[in-house]
Amino acid sequence: MVASQNGWPRVAASGGLQTLPWITGRVLPGDVWTIMDHLCRRFDAEVETIRKDWSWGWDDRGVIGGTELSNHASATAIDVNAPDHPISARGTFTPAQVKAIETILEDFNGVIKWGGHYVKRADEMHFEIDVLPTDPKVAALAAQIRSITAPAVVVPMPVPSLSDEQVTRILAAIKAVPFATANVPIKYTAGDVSWIQEDANNAAALRVVQRQNRELTQQLAALHSAIPAMCKQAVLDALAVSTIITTTTIGGKP
Ligand SMILES: [Zn+2]
């Protein structure tokens, strides 16, 4: 078996290779494709925009100026924005871009090597698989990428739990609003009409409850408009608490 520089087998024809949307060219399907695709996605987002017509992959050739088979020949290397980062040139990326590249490489766990790190001749357009085909790091990295790029599962937002400090602030805000009904015991729920109508006194009590519910609703609305100065989370918490207060205050038969 003829292997390229990094130990991956030579691919003599492009038929079994897979196009990569970021480049004009192909790479090895499967784990290598997943890794190269994610590398391009992050390079495009964090280093510079990729020009597809300036970027390529598989090429069955030897190393330029050498005798070994290029990793492009095993479809495990890509060149990105080649005209801006010509072979042999150093410093074609800003220090901030180099830092961004190195951050990406760290996240790729040593599986990818950047041509800008070549000691002899620089090749800053170039990225390649830097471990053997048998190295389990390849499959592990690809699996990790697939897991983080899978569609997010939407779960309902739980009601946030309150810290003691949040409770203190919310209670202070609530106390600041005058509650006319605060000392009036409210005994009936709004759904108890038939039961209450058995007794004229209870009917009167129902009217009281209805009026108090209206007032309470207005006061809660006033409370909500009075607290925008509180942080967003605290407002959400206050709404949750006011719901509990409403339920507690007007709920339950005597
Ligand atoms: Zn290259």
Read off the CATH number of the domain in which 72 is found.
Answer: 3.30.1380
Q: Is the pLDDT of residue 160 over 70?
A: no
| Cα 18 to ligand 1 centroid, rounded to whole Å | 17
3-state secondary structure 139-183: HHHHHHHHHHHCCCCCCCCCCCCCCHHHHHHHHHHHHCCCCCCCC
| Cα 139 to ligand 1 centroid, rounded to whole Å | 23
The tokens for 43 are 């390079």
Q: Is the pLDDT of residue 36 over 60?
A: yes
Q: Which domain holds residue 169?
A: 164-250
Task: State whether 87 and 207 are in the same domain.
Answer: no
| Cα 79 to ligand 1 centroid, rounded to whole Å | 5
Task: State whether 139 and 168 are in the same domain.
Answer: no
CA 192/CA 207 separation, integer angstroms: 12
Task: State whether 138 and 168 are in the same domain.
Answer: no
* pLDDT score for 243: 58
Place of tokens 């020949």: 73
* pLDDT score for 215: 76
Q: Are 2 and 10 in contact (CB under 8 A)?
A: yes
Q: Which residue has the higher pLDDT, 123 or 251?
A: 123
- Say which residues have a Cβ less than 8 Å from residue 110's Cβ, sequence separation at least 6: 130, 131, 137
Q: For the chain, what percent of residues have pLDDT higher than 90?
A: 51
Q: Which of 238, 237, 244 is CA-nearest to residue 221?
A: 238
- Say which residues have a Cβ less than 8 Å from residue 74's Cβ, sequence separation at least 6: 3, 4, 6, 8, 9, 10, 11, 28
| Cα 220 to ligand 1 centroid, rounded to whole Å | 66
Output the CA–CA distances (angstroms, integers) from residue 205 to 52, 202, 211, in the order listed: 76, 5, 10
Q: Is the pLDDT of residue 195 over 80?
A: no
Average pLDDT over residues 138-153: 82
CA 178/CA 8 separation, integer angstroms: 77
Task: State whether 62 and 136 are in the same domain.
Answer: yes
Give how many domains the chain has, as a whole number.
Answer: 2
| Cα 61 to ligand 1 centroid, rounded to whole Å | 11
Query: For residue 79, which phi and psi values (nearest 5 degrees)?
Result: -115, 135
* pTM listed for this prediction: 0.60
Most confident of 85-89, 153-157, 172-176: 85-89
Residues 74-97 have pLDDT tens digits of: 999 999 999 999 999 999 999 999
Residues 47-74 have pLDDT tens digits of: 999 999 999 999 988 887 778 899 999 9
The tokens for 132 are 């053997």
The tokens for 241 are 């608490």
Q: Which residue among 118, 149, 180 closes a domain?
A: 149
Task: State whether 39 and 132 are in the same domain.
Answer: yes
Task: State whether 29 and 136 are in the same domain.
Answer: yes
* pLDDT score for 181: 40
Q: Are 19 and 26 in contact (CB under 8 A)?
A: yes
| Cα 150 to ligand 1 centroid, rounded to whole Å | 29
| Cα 43 to ligand 1 centroid, rounded to whole Å | 16
* pLDDT score for 182: 37
The tokens for 251 are 């709920």
Task: State whether 73 and 131 are in the same domain.
Answer: yes
Phi/psi-derived region of residue 252, left when phi > 0, alpha when psi is between -120 and 50, beta in every other case = left
Task: State whether 84 and 24 are in the same domain.
Answer: yes
| Cα 77 to ligand 1 centroid, rounded to whole Å | 6
